[in-house]
Amino acid sequence: MTFGKTFFASCLGALAALVVFFFFSIFIIGSMVSAISEDKKVVLEENSVLHLELDAQIHEMQQENPLAGLPLPGTDVRKIGLMQLKQAIDHAKDDDKIKGIYVEVSQPTAGFSTLEEIRHSLLEFRESGKWVVAYNETMSEGAYYLSSAANEIYLNPYGEIEFNGLTVTIGFYKKLFDKLEIRPQIFRVGEFKSAVEPFLMEKMSKENRLQLTEMANSIYDYMLGRISESRNIDKQRLEEISDQMLVRNADAAVEVGLVDSLLYPDQFLNVLREKLDVDEDDDITFIKYNRYRKSFSTYKDSDNEIAVIVADGTIMPGDGDQNDQVIAADKFVEEIRKAREDDDVKAIVLRVNSPGGEFKASDMIWRELKLATNEKPVIASMSDYAASGGYYLSMVCDTIVAQPHTITGSIGIFGIMLDMSDFLGDKLGITFDEVRTGAYGDTYTVTRPLTEAEKNFIQHNLDEYYEIFTKKAAEGRDVAHEDIQKVASGRVWTGQQALDRKLVDILGNFDDAVEIAAEAAGVSDDYKVRFYPAPKNFLEELLINFEENAETKVLQRQLGDMHSWYQHLQKIKEYQGAQARMPFELKFE
């Protein structure tokens, strides 16, 4: 009887789960069908305003989320593709139904080079004679910089603007490792190669503090110059406003000229009605970016193609294992080879947004790019980061185009081996013993400290890799090896600083790089742009998003505020082998 009851209860439970799963699946499928149907109904109305909500994660390419809008974990995270956003703004410039753009941005998740690309597109939009307005309750430093491209900036009467300079924050793990009895064994080449400092120190070295100070000043100086042009405020006055933190409230922002007026949302809508020349009671037709980009096609009929290889993320061996934020060596070698061997591809633009990664993986991609330069023009376009391994990829290109804000250089090598023997023995009660053949039978281990012979072996390898890096950089830049060594040593530069040191050729944006590539190929008047790698299909995106969202939600629930630190520690796993990686992760505040 007990068995029968248990069996019957189990069957009922399974049946209930099946019913729930069935109706949930119907709901998901129905929502997707509805979303797809909505996409097909995008018909633009006359007198429309393009509404750009830019508080989102802004990546190089749009990462479609087929679960967006559904009541599932993680589906509320907004992601925007920089390239698609630029296309939308460019199309709106000549779209008679779009009368202007409303920029709503408070805290964008993007680097300053990305913001500069968007800002440039907005300024070009204004050249068509149409208007751009910005309005919000609060604006970070980056949000204000982007908004300064608008004809007018409006703020809530009790809103706030952050305009007090940049702060670069770096986290250090030494105390954590001390508590866990984990001893990092560090190998590096270059006095500025400070990627390893968070594992060894509790604060910055004087070399790292020097380069970060100069870098932050270079970025902020350029920003103030651009804001000065847009807002017609003397640059020296902007420095005074920032240094003395004169913008303490919304009224002060108007007094110093950073914003034009303080308005409540209903008053701001009336401003838009005036611009659209409609009555006070009329509705305003807004169209949001994601819907607007589905109202037009970017297809262009041409036999000449400019292939844009988008390298966004950390450089790693392998094929990427479906991870969009990894520059997987095998995958990218294949993509570059396809572009090299395709007769329709007249030139290649390498779009780099990478802090670097594994040295050998970087060299694999470098080799394929080198082969491509022998057959057709290859132009590098640097985004927020093109440092260390990211610079390694760029330095082989015929021309390097960087933004003034781009963080690049960092020509250096490092490696980390963690001695976890005390942690495993004292904290977990696990000990190890070994027998081996030869003095180097088990060099890459975490169960014991490395011997002096093993340390010398690893350091010797890194010295050789550094020599290879600097020599190839000198060859690619067509300068003396000694000159490259003077600006190497792991030192990080802004795009402006890199230009002065001949590490890059031109200051400009992505569009400039494409134009240079087309001109070099002799197809300036007739070409189309195609992005590689190709986006994943609907099913792939669905499965990846569902898995990632579920895993992230579980970890966030379990770890709480410690989740961000868990993510940092997970990155240590990537530090196996020689690393050509930027010496820190920047967080501008």
DSSP SS3 for 199: helix
Helices assigned H by DSSP within 374-439? 389-394, 421-422
Determine the angle formed by the axes of helices 206-231 and 235-243, rounding to 10 degrees: 130
Write down the catalytic residue from 86, 193, 275, 472.
193
What is the Cα–Cα distance from 554 to 336, expressed in whole angstroms?
37
User: What is the C-alpha radius of gyration for the chain, rounded to an integer number of angstroms?
Assistant: 27
What's CA 356's distance to the chain center, in Å? Answer: 12
133-144: buried (b, 16+ CB within 10 Å) or exposed (e) per residue?
A: bbbbebbbbbbb
Residue partners of 5: CB distance under 8 A and separation at least 6: none
Q: Is 341 exposed, middle or buried (0-12, 13-18, 19+ CB in 10 A)?
A: exposed
- CA angle 196–498–216, rounded 5-degree value: 60
What is the Cα–Cα distance from 523 to 392, expressed in whole angstroms?
28
8-40: buried (b, 16+ CB within 10 Å) or exposed (e) per residue?
A: eeeeeeeeeeeeeeeeeeeebeebbeeeeeeee
> Which token pair is 222?
């350029």
What is the Cα–Cα distance from 211 to 494, expressed in whole angstroms?
10
Write down the catalytic residue from 148, 383, 388, 489.
388
What is the Cα–Cα distance from 505 to 489, expressed in whole angstroms?
21
- CA angle 304–309–314, rounded 5-degree value: 180
205-240: buried (b, 16+ CB within 10 Å) or exposed (e) per residue?
A: eebbeebbeebbebbbebbbebbbebbebeeeebee
What is the Cα–Cα distance from 358 to 248, expressed in whole angstroms?
45
DSSP H or E segment with residue 355: none
- Is residue 352 within 8 Å of residue 570, measured between CB atoms? no
Determine the angle formed by the axes of helices 510-521 and 82-93, rounding to 10 degrees: 80
- Is residue 327 within 8 Å of residue 314, measured between CB atoms? yes
Catalytic residue status for 218? no
Length of the chain: 589
Catalytic residue status for 410? no
Q: Calculate the alpha carbon distances from 493 to 36, 115, 179, 198, 488 in Å.
A: 45, 19, 35, 20, 10
> Which token pair is 587?
């967080």
What is the Cα–Cα distance from 169 to 5, expressed in whole angstroms?
61
DSSP SS3 for 172: coil
Catalytic annotation, residues: 193, 388
